Amino acid sequence: MEVARAAAAEVPEVTADLASLRHLLRKRRDTARAYFDELAGRFGKDYVPGRSWKALAEALIKVLNYKVVADLGAGEGTLAQLLAQRAHQVIAVDLSPKMVEFGQSLAAQNGLTNLEYRLGDIEEPPIEDGTLDLAVLSQALHHAEHPQRAIDAAFRILKPGGRLIVLDLVQHNFEEARELYADRWLGFSESALAAMLEKSGFTGIETIVADRETSPPYFQTLLGISVRPAERS
């Protein structure tokens, strides 16, 4: 038996299969998930004056209580500017000098003195280790050359107890995305994202399909939330 276990440990697929199994068991333990997925799917289908996902997102951002936040792969920084309404400091990182210049100018125009843009790669973000309360990878991971390195980097720059939010595309077959949007990866499955988060050392991992577009190519949005464990005393 010990020989079999040792042999299995040398097969790369075994590690991936075990990670997928752990992810599946986590999902099964969440007996309320199907119900809440159904609730989310109904939100906005029936018209109610004044009720929208945009309004709900604005409301939730208003009550966020994170001191230091990073928007990794920020683009022009729309999300970073929203987060700057509440956070003490927001760091927006992007690989494009033009995006960084434009975002910084926009932040200055709107008096967001707590928002700083930095030029850098999400696989090696120019942020000191262990300094963030919250890191966000919003539709950025599928642009990374090595997605696992980006998640490892997020783990490294978070404080113990800090959180990572990943918003990306569910794995799809729309090959044109590589040319149209410079995508390196055609999204990720829930289990693949969960496995990457687990490999980096994150705990409290949750993943859901948060949205489904109704027009071709029917992109779906994958949401992953996880925590860097607190250091043991």
Using DSSP bridges, classify how beta strands 132-138 and 158-169 pair: parallel, antiparallel or unpaired: parallel
Q: What is the pLDDT of residues 131-163, one digit of tens each?
A: 999 999 999 999 999 999 999 999 999 999 999
Q: What is the pLDDT of residues 157-194, one digit of tens each?
A: 999 999 999 999 999 999 999 999 999 999 999 999 99
Domains of the chain as residue ranges with CATH: 54-227 (3.40.50.150)
Mean pLDDT of 68-92: 94
**Model-wide pTM > 0.85:** no
The span from the CA of 223 to the CA of 39, in Å, is 16
Predicted confidence (pLDDT) at residue 101 exceeds the cutoff of 90: yes
pLDDT band at 31 (very low <50, low <70, confident <90, very high): low
| Residue 158 half-sphere exposure toward CB, CA atoms < 13 A | 29
Supply the pLDDT for residue 3: 47
